[in-house]
Amino acid sequence: MTPEQPGLFDMNEPQPAKKTEEEKKPVLTAEPSAPPIAAEETEPFFLPGVSQEPAWPEAENLSELHARAAHCTLCRLRSTCTQVVFGEGPEDSRLMLIGEGPGQEEDLQGRPFVGRAGQLLEKILQAAEIQRADVYIANVVKCRPPQNRLPDAEEVKACKGYLQAQIRLINPGIIVCLGALATQTVVDPRARISKVRGIWLNRAGIKIMPTFHPAALLRNPEYKRPVWEDFKLIRDEYRKICGK
């Protein structure tokens, strides 16, 4: 993290050793802050803990990547789910939403966010005057975990490369992380959703907004107001980058 974000991911960890000048180069900044370094704009987006090699650099489009994911056996989830829920939306979408993993309805239909949480997400998008058809929606893992549990660390690690490749191919202007797992996967493993939600972050020229997962709103209606405030920021930035 950069000095512009003191305590953002504070976990009472010991102070790290003094960094070299190269290590000091910022890769993620909070806004408002100093303008990003010019060279940062040309660097590829990356997820923490993912190198280029496992991120399927040979996949030239989403169809090729989807075909690879459909036959993936990198973790045990494929053996227990009905089908791979890869993601959906325009390949050139300027707005990408990332959840945690498919649920029962998603597993049956092969589409992300079609259950109760997905229906609530659609209502939020409609209120923000954003068409779902214009948004690319994906999850951290592409296969449903048994009993709709959260994906474990090994399952997330196995699937991270597909998510990174999706981001590379779509190259959105905005990424919205829906929930703690998506935020920790995309932003930083130490990130706390309660601390970072509603804060614009920036990596490689892509703006990132963490917010609560729609499922959390179903369990706790008090989250509806802060999520709506977050989506108003998302709406305004989306209009800006789309020239509306």
pLDDT of residue 54: 57
Q: What is the pLDDT of residues 229-241, one digit of tens each?
A: 999 999 999 999 9
**CATH number, domain with residue 104:** 3.40.470.10
* Comparison of pLDDT for 198 and 54, the residue scoring more: 198
Residue 130 contacts residue 235 (beta carbons within 8 Å): yes
Q: What is the full DSSP assignment across 139-183? A: ESSSSPPGGGPPP-HHHHHHHHHHHHHHHHHH--SEEEEESHHHH
pLDDT of residue 29: 67
Cα-Cα end-to-end distance for the chain: 33
Asked if residue 39 is part of any domain, the answer here is no
* Comparison of pLDDT for 93 and 12, the residue scoring more: 93
pLDDT of residue 178: 98
Tell me the residue type at 121: L
Residue 55 contacts residue 168 (beta carbons within 8 Å): yes
pLDDT of residue 5: 36
Tell me the residue type at 45: F
Residues 220 and 117: their CA atoms lie apart, in Å, by 12
pLDDT of residue 55: 83
Nearest partner of 100 among 51, 168, 152, 166, judged by Cα: 152
Q: Does the pLDDT at position 13 exceed 80?
A: no
Tokens 């802060």 label which residue? 226
Quote the tokens at residue 154.
Answer: 């090994």
Q: Does the pLDDT at position 50 exceed 90?
A: no
Q: Does the pLDDT at position 52 exceed 70?
A: no
Highest mean pLDDT among 28-37, 50-59, 61-70: 61-70
Asked if residue 119 is part of any domain, the answer here is yes
Domain that holds residue 186: 57-242
Cis peptide before 54 (omega within 30 of 0): no
Number of domains in the chain: 1
* 156 Cβ neighbours under 8 A, 6+ residues apart: 140, 141, 181, 185
- Mean pLDDT across 166-195: 96
Q: Residue 143 class from Cβ within 10 Å (0-12 exposed, 13-18 middle, 19+ buried)?
A: buried
Asked if residue 20 is part of any domain, the answer here is no
Share above pLDDT 90 across residues of the chain, in percent, rounded to a whole number: 75
Asked if residue 173 is part of any domain, the answer here is yes
Q: What is the pLDDT of residues 91-147, one digit of tens each?
A: 999 999 999 999 999 999 999 999 999 999 999 999 999 999 999 999 999 999 999
Residues 241 and 218: their CA atoms lie apart, in Å, by 31
Asked if residue 178 is part of any domain, the answer here is yes
Residues 26 and 36: their CA atoms lie apart, in Å, by 8
Sign of CA dihedral 58, 167, 129, 179: positive
